[in-house]
Amino acid sequence: MTSTSCAHLRPGTWPLHWDLVLDDQLGPTDGLASCRSCGTVYLLEMLDWRGAERLMRMAVLERALATRLLRDLDRGSCDAGRAAAELAHVRSLAVAVPQLLLVDTAIPAIVAAVPTPADRPLPTESWRDLDCDGGWIDYARSYVEMTKA
């Protein structure tokens, strides 16, 4: 499985369908989303936000793994910890994409796919444990402005 995003994730488009929203704060913050054109499944996890903009970490999942997770979660279980364990297992198998996805949730549309910085470690925690002070949004915005010049 490749660690690159599909060609359909282009600025000004929203080719994704949310298959499963894992967390929400005035719109999806974490979840599984699949490309409507090619079917690539992504684990998207919010890293930062400002207003309607979200910056997401991306990882690719095997379609069969995502399908099994969705099926198992839909079935439910009497074991209260099973869903969390299954989700942790899926996260451990996700292949990180070396890009961050800047999204405008008001439209919705992709603003840009920006490379993860080589000189700044990418947080792995949930957005709920991060500052979400706009610093990562600033990084993404500066990259977008730099590439326009």
Quick check: is 10 in a domain? no
Q: State the chain's mean pLDDT as an integer.
A: 93
Give the whole-angstrom CA distance, residue 41 versus residue 118: 25
93 occurs within a structural domain: yes
Query: Domain tally for the chain?
Result: 1
Residue 62 lies in a domain: yes
Distance CA 25, CA 105 (A): 11
If you write DSSP's letter for every residue of 61-103 in order, what string do you get? E-HHHHHHHHHHHHH--S-TTHHHHHHHHHHHH-EEEEEEEEE
Note the pLDDT of residue 71. 93
Q: Domain residues for 39?
A: 16-148
Residue 26 within any structural domain of the chain = yes
Tell whether 44 is covered by a domain: yes
What pTM value is reported for the model? 0.92
Residue 33 falls inside a structural domain? yes
Q: Is the pLDDT of residue 1 over 80?
A: no
Summarize pLDDT for 110-129 with one digit per residue, the tens.
Answer: 999 999 999 999 999 999 99
